[in-house]
A and B are shown apart, each in its own frame.
Chain A
Amino acid sequence: MNTLLAALGLAVLLFGGWGIGYLLIPGEKPISTMAVHAWLLGAIVVTITLGFFGTILSGRGLLALVAVACIIPGFAALRKIPRRGMFAFEWPRPAGWLEWTLLAVILCQCAVLLRYAWTTAIGWDGLVVWEIKARIAAYNGGSLPVDYFTDPTRSWSHPDYPLMLPLLETWIYMWMGQSSQFLVRIIYPVFYFAALLLLYSGAAEISGKRWVGLLAASLLFFVSLLATGQSNVFTGYADFPLAVLYLAAVASFIRYTRDPANSRAVLFAIYAGAMPWMKREGAILWLCFILVAGVELIGQRKIRVALLAVVPGLITIAGWKIAQFSVRAIPNHDFLPATAANVAAHLNRVGPILRAVIVELSSINDWSILWAVFPIALVLLAAKGRRTLSLQLGALVFMPLVLYASVYILSSWNPYQTHIDCSLPRLVSHLSLVALLTFAIALPDTGQ
């Protein structure tokens, strides 16, 4: 029964997300992109509605309100669909031995990973940083009580961290009427599936070849940190979902540059704006993304679109800051205040940090050869005549990487190397899906 209720909660979420996606881009037909919009937009709507209205409502009232917020756009989209076109999604049918083989490989990988996900426990941070919030919110009728944010005995659970993932878990718990660390894991394979579809649709569209899309999707399995590593997709960490949002924003942005419709700009602005709602590092990703998108849009003299793209992220960052301030959330003490004196005093860390980054990027156990081939992919992409795309993708990976590495200069951990060891692989994972997409679309044309 609980499984059915959890599935019903997910179905309502997907219906709402699909409706919003369809209303934004009515002409979008491929089932792969529609499914991704359904999941990501649904998750964004549900968590923001839960977070916002959870301050005034709780229990069944809150559940009903959020469900209505999903059902209204879903039905609005259904009404907009021409009767004959109701089920006119594009179901891509593989053509040729290569596409069939790659599809079979992906299906086998999914089967292996589903078996693996079944027996993978929620990891340490997944449990004591993210799931705890969902559990407490579910206990409290769907929203986190103010006492939690100020509870000094639970400061280890980082009360100041954003709530997208915990509230997504809360949504499942609310439908079940209880918390279950077993059933809540249903959402993580969905994020993996979303990543597969994003890689497939992004690579296929940019390269113009479907087998490149299938190849990109099949290679995800071989990035072992994401599939089976310590903080893999199934362990309940927010890093993989953040990477999926980043990839969605980047893929939507590339799509916009090829088909500049304002609704596509809204889409990448929403995905980028949701990143700081998923994890604090999302603000860094958002900043880098907005810089790259802004340069492109201003270059095209689309100042209004550029300003529009900034709005969702600003609302998210400012809204969460105001919420934290109003509940007096216990601040995080992982970093020293960013003063010139502190930076100057810890500049001697630059060498070891750089060394740690190089060691991490060259870890075959974590990344296969992803980071070794990424610069080659950028060069190959430029050689294919896609210099702008190559520069943009390079900036979208290297800028956040430099910023991520730089923050360790102000780490308050003692020794700070422990901080690097604990978090650097996960930070790098945020960029890995975009790097994988780059690798796939830059592959030399084999002429299939």
Chain B
Amino acid sequence: MVSISNTAFGFWFLTDSQPETGRIYACTRTCLGAHSIGIIDFAHFHPSDRNVNSARSHNSHRWRILQPLLAVAMVAAFVVCGLHGLKKARSHRTDGIGVLNSTDSFLLQALRVNGGAEKILSAISDLPPLQPLAIIAPKDNIFGPILLPTIGSITWPHQVYLIQAANPDVSKSLDTLRNDHFAAALVYDLAPPVPDSGNRRVGALTIVRVSK
């Protein structure tokens, strides 16, 4: 391998008349005017490196022209295809700009109310924290399974259970929860239980206090 340093200082020629093997100690140099003398850092000169013929230099010239074209083509393809993907942004967006709570943006879909997280937290703030909550949702409602982690992520230290009710009458479920020492039932999209002054509504969610 031959490595050349300081090529900016002059012009160097490596010719076919170089020694057969081993180190090269000299080469023809053309140095014009005030150009300084360059330094060739000789390393091992492998015999296979000698076969520098015109065909190869022609190929290398062609490759030198093709290189930038290939680079530009690859980068251009990358950018064009990337722009195509960028147009299909799929992440969940918040509504508008401002101090936004991400839980709200998920609750908005299910409860159809803004600021749902804060309203739920406010509604359960006076409940005993060590007693669990239960979300009662219609059995085939797609929002039921979504409400469990959404509400569960903001209501620590309450444990949160999901009851998927087949029957629209939730009074039986409430009795069971009362006996099991639950703090409250969060009844979603079902016929509201018997009106009670203690119940609070957050959109489609009715928070029914069941703890005694």
Contacts and interface: CB of A to CB of B under 8 A. Distances in A.
A116 B90 CA distance: 12
A221 interface: yes
B58 interface: no
Q: Is the interface of A mostly helix, strand, loop or mixed?
A: helix
A223 B82 contact: yes
A118 B91 CA distance: 12
Interface of A: 116, 118-124, 126-128, 131-132, 135-136, 139, 145, 147-148, 151-154, 156-157, 180-182, 215, 219, 221-225, 227-232, 234-236, 364-370, 373, 376, 439, 443-447
A228 B86 contact: yes
Nearest to B160: A153
B2 to A, nearest CB: 13
Interface string B121-164: 00000000000100000000000000011101110110111000
B85 A234 contact: no
List the 5 closest A-B pairs by CB distance, nearest first: A222-B82, A224-B85, A444-B67, A368-B82, A228-B89
Contacts of B132: 153
Given A119-B93, A222-B83, A224-B86, A369 B156 contact: no
8 contacts: A119-B96, A121-B94, A135-B156, A156-B149, A219-B75, A231-B91, A376-B74, A444-B68
Contacts of A153: 132, 152, 159-161
Given A153-B160, A224-B85, A444-B67, A121 B150 contact: no
Q: Is the interface of B mostly helix, strand, loop or mixed?
A: helix
A229 to B, nearest CB: 6
Contact of A123 (B89, B91, B150): B91
A127 B103 contact: yes
Contact of A446 (B71, B92, B93, B102): B71
A367 B86 CA distance: 10
B55 interface: no
A128 B86 contact: no
B104 to A, nearest CB: 8
B14 interface: no
B159 A120 contact: no
Given A121-B93, A222-B86, A228-B90, A181 B101 contact: yes
Size category of the B interface is 35 or more
A6 B94 CA distance: 21
Nearest to B96: A119
A147 B91 contact: no
B26 interface: no
A443 B82 contact: no
B92 A365 contact: no
Contact of A148 (B81, B103, B156): B156
B99 interface: yes
Given A132-B153, A135-B156, A235-B91, A121 B77 contact: no
B62 interface: no
A181 B102 contact: yes
A289 B67 CA distance: 32
Contacts of B105: 121
Contacts of A132: 149, 152-153, 156
B97 A225 contact: no
B43 to A, nearest CB: 13
B72 interface: yes
Given A121-B91, A182-B99, A224-B88, 10 more contacts: A121-B106, A127-B103, A151-B159, A154-B152, A182-B101, A228-B89, A229-B89, A368-B81, A373-B78, A444-B70
A132 B148 CA distance: 13
A365 B85 contact: yes
Contacts of B88: 224, 365
B31 interface: no
A232 B90 CA distance: 9
B69 to A, nearest CB: 9
Contacts of A368: 78-79, 81-82, 84-85
A444 B78 contact: no
Nearest to A224: B85
B100 interface: yes
Given A230-B91, A446-B71, A135 B154 contact: yes
Contacts of B78: 219, 222, 368-370, 373, 439
Contact of B94 (A119, A227, A366, A367): A119
Contacts of B85: 222, 224-225, 228-229, 364-368
Given A121-B105, A153-B152, A446-B72, A221 B99 contact: no
Contacts of A443: 71, 74-75
A119 B67 contact: no
A142 B115 CA distance: 26
A215 B77 CA distance: 14
Interface in B34-53: none
A146 B33 CA distance: 81
A122 B83 contact: no
A446 B90 contact: no
B102 A122 contact: yes
Contacts of A156: 148-149, 152
A351 to B, nearest CB: 27
Contacts of B94: 119-121
B153 A127 contact: yes
A222 B72 CA distance: 15
A149 B26 CA distance: 74
A131 B71 contact: no
A236 B154 CA distance: 16
Contacts of B154: 135
